[in-house]
Structure 1
Amino acid sequence: MPVGVFRNHLMQQAERHPALKPQDALKLCFQAAFGPEHLLVDEPSAKSRLLEELEAVTASPGILWEPISHRYARVNLAPFKHMDMPPESLWQAFSQSVRAPKDAAASSLYEAYLDIVGEAARLGILPFGTADWQETLAGYLARGGGPIGHSPGYRQAEHPHYRVVMLGYLAELPSDI
């Protein structure tokens, strides 16, 4: 079931974010499987970065949160700010997500998610093809995998500002979601 859910979320991401490149799909797979676990090494710094990013981002209407797997969602900061939500609520949801018990199946889900992206690229339903996917994936794996940033093209076109939060902690946000 989680694999089918991810397939649907991948298609939604490709539709909503046409600048999606193979590197961004890798990031999506990593976040969908592992969540934000790599982002909270230093709690005070992580909270400061969130507050600074919220201050810098331009408030605008939009989709507040986008599910990316059966377990995680991306909470978009521009709509969050537009809705004048309290930053502490997002911080609590994010930090609790980081501290939550890890999914024992995360590594196998990650592998399955990578396969789903490869199949979707082969079928021509992503904004990139199989050759681009395979080349990017091979280079990524050769470097050891792990967390990865968005591609420059995606950053320029999509202006991504979000935090990955467990779906169960979205209740920490105000109820007008």
Structure 2
Amino acid sequence: MSFEKTILQLAEEEFELHPKANLRDYYKLFFQGTFGPGHFVSDYLSAIDFIYKELNESTNFETDLYQKINYRQIFYRVNLLAVKMNLISFNDYYAGFLASSRFKSNISNEQWIYEWQQIEKILEASSLEIPNFEHDSNFLQRIFFENEYVISHSQDFRTTYNPHYRIFTQTEFEKLQIKEISCNSYIYQL
């Protein structure tokens, strides 16, 4: 599959799941599809505490238990809701996330910036209606100038979808053996 088709396929899948996603949310998606969770974990004890706290304090969750990110590698966003609903154990979730965090991409920051600029051009020329495109594009250029690459979801995304997930490699995701359930709304409230 060509580079452009790969970009458009993942972007269209994201648009179907999250139609209110902003450009910075697409950036995060492609960043995760390139670097996985390795950028996220530097202190394993803090990571377990943070996940445990998020699990116990969160009452609203996006309904999809996982989302496949098929870009440079295959990764999955695995929703903490699967743990909250006792579909998988906290220990299995954390162990899979920890093992996944050992993934290291060989893409340099300079290569990533260039690649993202190509992705952004493809998204801009696409038929997808991505809110706040120019504003987010300027924001991303500023963070690149400051040598920052890891960002949070947009406020619109967090408010609309309540994302509570971690990134897993395909191998670790398959070990979880999550069965998808269907819900009719974006938010699952406990």
TM range (shorter): 0.7 to 0.9
Change (3 A) 1:83 1:12: farther
Query: What does the per-residue CA deviation read over 1:46-83, in whole Å, with 9 as the maximum and x for residues that have no partner?
Result: 01111221222337683221112332111112244235
Change (3 A) 1:140 1:61: closer
Q: Which amino acid aligns with 2:51?
A: L
Aligned to 1:37: 38
User: 1 CA distance for matches of 2:36 and 2:75?
Assistant: 6
Query: What does the per-residue CA deviation read over 1:124-143, in whole Å, with 9 as the maximum and x for residues that have no partner?
Result: 31423753453233223222
Q: Which amino acid aligns with 1:172?
A: K
User: 2 CA distance for matches of 1:143 and 1:17?
Assistant: 28
Secondary structure class of the residue paired with 1:149: coil
Count of aligned pairs between the two proteins: 176
User: 2 CA distance for matches of 1:62 and 1:115?
Assistant: 32
Change (3 A) 1:20 1:130: closer
Aligned to 2:144: 141
Q: 2:62 touches 2:162 (CA, 8 Å); kept in 1?
A: no
Indicate the structure with greater strand content. Answer: 2
Change (3 A) 1:130 1:174: closer
Aligned to 1:64: 65
Runs of 5+ unmatched residues, structure 2: 181-190
User: 1 CA distance for matches of 2:175 and 2:108?
Assistant: 24
Which of 74, 79, 90 is 2:77 aligned to? 74
Q: 1:60 touches 1:79 (CA, 8 Å); kept in 2?
A: no
Over the aligned positions, Cα root-mean-square deviation in angstroms equals 2.6
Aligned to 2:13: 12
Q: What is the CA distance between 1:2 and its match in structure 2?
A: 8.5
Q: 1:32 touches 1:68 (CA, 8 Å); kept in 2?
A: yes
User: 2 CA distance for matches of 1:163 and 1:157?
Assistant: 18
Q: Which amino acid aligns with 2:68?
A: P
> % of aligned pairs identical?
23
Aligned to 1:122: 125
User: 2 CA distance for matches of 1:41 and 1:106?
Assistant: 19
Q: Give the TM-score normalised by structure 1.
A: 0.83
Q: Which amino acid aligns with 2:19?
A: P
